[in-house]
A = this chain, B = another copy of it.
Amino acid sequence: MKLGRMNHIGVATPDLDASIAFYRDVMGATDITEPFVLESQKVRVCFVNTPGENGPNGEPTAGTQVELLQPTEADSAVGKWLDKNPLGGQHHVCYEVPDIHEAKAWFEGLGKRVLGEPRIGAHGTLIFFVHPRDMGGQLTEIMETPKEAH
């Protein structure tokens, strides 16, 4: 496997609206997507778009996003994580791959615990998570690159 783009870092929060205000008013973000509920992960979610490095002629590119995650149920993966980290904070990191099924076979072939079958994630493409204990302490999301340009 070849390392893909760091699509986003997942940041858990007990209050999505307060976090949106924080990224807008403190960090100076100007491009934050509308929140929506991702039922499969029991979270309300939105993305803070950050600027990427400019291209060779100064063209802007998309940077790594911040995915803000608020649990919709206390008894959910992110809800339980917030029990231990009530302020919120960095929850996972997500890298893109060209083919989700090849990536799953790759990680499993290396003995890494893939958590469940690939399912549709917040960007509308297939994703899975790999257990943090097998990934240097980082919960790692692998997502298939969207076919459309970013």
Partner-B contacts on A (CB < 8 A): 1-6, 9, 11-13, 19, 22-23, 26-30, 48, 50-57, 59, 61-64, 66, 85, 87-90, 93, 95, 107, 110, 112, 132-133, 135-138, 150
Residue A3 contacts which of B23, B95, B133, B150 (CB distance < 8 angstroms)?
A: B23
A contact patch SS:
loop
Copies in the assembly, this chain: 2
Q: Which of A4, A27, A51, A88 has the most CB of B within 10 A?
A: A27
Contact partners of A87 in chain B: CB under 8 A: 132-133, 136-137
Contact partners of A133 in chain B: CB under 8 A: 87
A90–B140 CA distance with the chains assembled, in angstroms: 11
Contact partners of A5 in chain B: CB under 8 A: 50-53, 63
